[in-house]
Chains A and B, each alone.
Chain A
């Protein structure tokens, strides 16, 4: 039972559930307490001890069914669930289907010729439960639990067949084919049945143990891939990554509090602190805690020159506004508009679509955009505001109105400019990055999620 549970927890971890060893112990205790006679109760009990989130619970339930119920379902005998976790040696004898046994009874005399190889004898016995046990017990040796790629399935299946004694069987088959074609045909058929069984088993093992790793690999790679090359298939995963990053930022924010020397007099603590002075109020204690919520304004360039990354930048913008309080979002190509409300009211897909439709792919004009920004938001920028610009500073050789950007810089706490282009292409062609750069606290290249994550992380760390 310990082993079965251990394997199951391993499979859960592979699926990405964070399960600590303390929780494993709890689960074991719970399983001992409720016993394994009632699968429903066991399912609830393990679920409560192992998973602490609703999303995780759903994954858990799926895996539980797959892991503990799959074999029994094949044999249409769900009552026997309790014996299954220990699939190594206790497959129920009673579960061999009667239909096949009758087929066995009718075996004509010519088919009952004695066979030499052990596997051939097994196959003639035709006991699926015993075969299942054989397969399961040879699986770990063949590496069924350490597969990480789908392509390994045929190889592992082949290895299992070898362990079961496939070679001798084939040799014997070749021998008897001439004398006893009927028997050979029957054996052939059973052998291919067995092969199918093995393959099913291995696939199931792959699903249980293998899926996690490639997923992790892909997530890692995605973080490194440039924003410009992300294909649409991965966009969904990317969204989740962005949300993860943004959530990290949000939790950093909410933890920052500050105790001030102002606010209400805390009578209780003051008296307590001054009891030693005969009740004279020497030291005053105050009870005001101020939660510091920085204001963030994000401006996103969606013009033609950044069109390839615009969608991604917007995605980040949207997630950021979703998780951080008090984020104001602006987009522009030649005109600027505030999209805070749009982002708040609409779901991501339709909000992004609307932004792309209304604002994107026009020629860039930083000058007029900044002028609008001045009207819209300059008065709200104070020394707790962080302004983030996502853009390439390619201005089609028009006046960039750096004077406004200077004002923004002076009023705000911090100005970040994240440029999707690499540093060596700044100031080439119509890029005027160096004109804006003096009025930014940080100028960074940002064209992958890893960059974004790192930059925003460091910004929040320096926050005082």
Chain B
């Protein structure tokens, strides 16, 4: 264990002392997870390493960070990545407006200071006595990364969709991820008051650099097994009757076997379950599936491919009852 252990972790020691307890606590919060997810969070907390979470969209990558922040009752600081994101938006920014305003206001005072100085050399020497007032903490506008480092008790930092950011930005993150510190040219190195717990998520639109991967624990979240998905549904939509939810989970897993542009993820399953509940559906049948298919599939091509197969899929879903 390193010296500057995360305060929130010490405080919540009892909630995270084994992967098993983490899993149980997550379950209480309504987040059903697999063993590997619980192990990842456990390791991240104790080794103080960032987790890189990969997996298809909609399997709960972002949700994991949110629930962890809930579990540890630490603030969640989220940074959404996109192409062209630079350090001015991610790390810090000087308050230029304020700087300008202050120079205007201080003009007269500067005149007073300068009065009586002989020649430019002396004026500059006098100015130097004041230090860099305009580039000090007061004029610093913290952005998510800096904010995470300055949180007293440690925070959960979620760097969402890192693959959307440019390669340069990835390199810039390396210092933060391995040493929890950041260099600001005007101020020097800012060290974390208490190390944040970092989650990075990626949809794999681009291959991430090895340097970044090396610094992280790598967690791949696949689509959940039928068993776990069933649990997720009953945690998220408890009003739905068990038989229907079983049928629904089987139907979805059959659907995932098909060659579709985008297969339905867990979030779609939950949406669908909620919709079926709202519509008071008792039993999945062809008509209902057909009418609600657009909740599951987001491409017209996919819908057209699935529609003629609905009957077969339903049969397969009902078979093992």
Contacts and interface: CB of A to CB of B under 8 A. Distances in A.
Given A23-B214, A44-B35, A52-B218, A30 B96 contact: no
Nearest to A272: B96
Nearest to B101: A279
A255 interface: yes
B42 interface: yes
Interface in A26-75: 26, 29-30, 33-34, 40-41, 44-45, 47-49, 51-54, 57
A122 to B, nearest CB: 41
A22 interface: yes
B214 A41 contact: no
Contacts of A279: 100, 103-104
A18 interface: yes
Interface in B12-59: 19, 35-36, 39-40, 42-43, 46-47, 49, 52, 54
Given A44-B40, A254-B167, 19 more contacts: A22-B214, A23-B214, A30-B47, A40-B35, A41-B19, A41-B39, A45-B39, A48-B39, A48-B218, A52-B52, A53-B213, A54-B54, A57-B218, A57-B220, A255-B167, A268-B88, A272-B94, A279-B100, A279-B103
Nearest to A49: B217
A47 B51 CA distance: 13
B301 to A, nearest CB: 12
A121 to B, nearest CB: 46
19 contacts: A20-B214, A26-B49, A26-B217, A29-B47, A33-B43, A41-B39, A47-B36, A48-B39, A51-B218, A52-B214, A57-B218, A254-B206, A255-B167, A268-B88, A268-B93, A268-B96, A275-B96, A275-B103, A279-B103
B221 to A, nearest CB: 11
B252 interface: no
B103 A54 contact: no
Interface of A: 18, 20, 22-23, 26, 29-30, 33-34, 40-41, 44-45, 47-49, 51-54, 57, 251, 254-255, 268-269, 271-272, 275, 278-279, 289
B217 A34 contact: no
B99 interface: yes
A54 B220 contact: yes
A272 B206 CA distance: 33
Contacts of A268: 88, 93, 96
Interface in B71-92: 84, 88
Contacts, number: 75
Nearest to B99: A275
Nearest to A18: B210
Nearest to A57: B220
A403 B257 CA distance: 54
Contacts of A52: 52, 210, 213-214, 216, 218
A53 B46 CA distance: 23
Closest 4 CB pairs of A and B: A52-B213, A44-B39, A48-B217, A52-B218
Contact of B103 (A26, A254, A278): A278
B35 A41 contact: yes
Interface of A is mostly: helix
Given A44-B35, A289-B84, A275 B100 contact: yes
Most buried by B among A30, A33, A34, A52: A52
A48 B219 contact: yes
A275 B220 CA distance: 48
A51 B216 CA distance: 10
A44 B33 CA distance: 14
A457 to B, nearest CB: 19
B94 A33 contact: no
Interface in B207-249: 207, 210, 213-214, 216-220
Contact of B46 (A33, A41, A254): A33
A58 to B, nearest CB: 10
A271 B100 contact: yes
Contacts of A57: 218, 220
Contacts of B210: 18, 52
Contacts of B46: 33
Contacts of B218: 47-49, 51-53, 57
A255 B42 CA distance: 36
Most buried by B among A40, A53, A255: A53
A271 B95 CA distance: 11
A24 to B, nearest CB: 11
Contacts of A18: 210
Contacts of B93: 268
A29 B134 CA distance: 45
Contact of B47 (A20, A33, A44, A254): A33
A284 to B, nearest CB: 15
Contacts of A22: 214
Contacts of A53: 213, 218
A419 to B, nearest CB: 33
A30 B39 CA distance: 10
Nearest to A257: B166
B242 to A, nearest CB: 28
A34 B214 contact: no
Contacts of A251: 207
A45 B214 contact: no
Contacts of A34: 19, 39, 42-43
Contacts of B54: 54
Contacts of B134: 275
Contacts of B43: 30, 33-34, 45, 48-49
Contact of A44 (B36, B84, B104, B167): B36
A34 B46 CA distance: 10
Contacts of A275: 96, 99-100, 103, 134
B265 to A, nearest CB: 17
B310 to A, nearest CB: 26
A271 B96 contact: yes
Nearest to B40: A48
Contacts of B99: 275
Contacts of B36: 44, 47-48
Interface string B96-114: 1101100110000000000
A49 B47 CA distance: 11
B47 A26 contact: yes
Most buried by A among B84, B217, B219: B217
A51 B210 CA distance: 11
Contacts of A289: 84
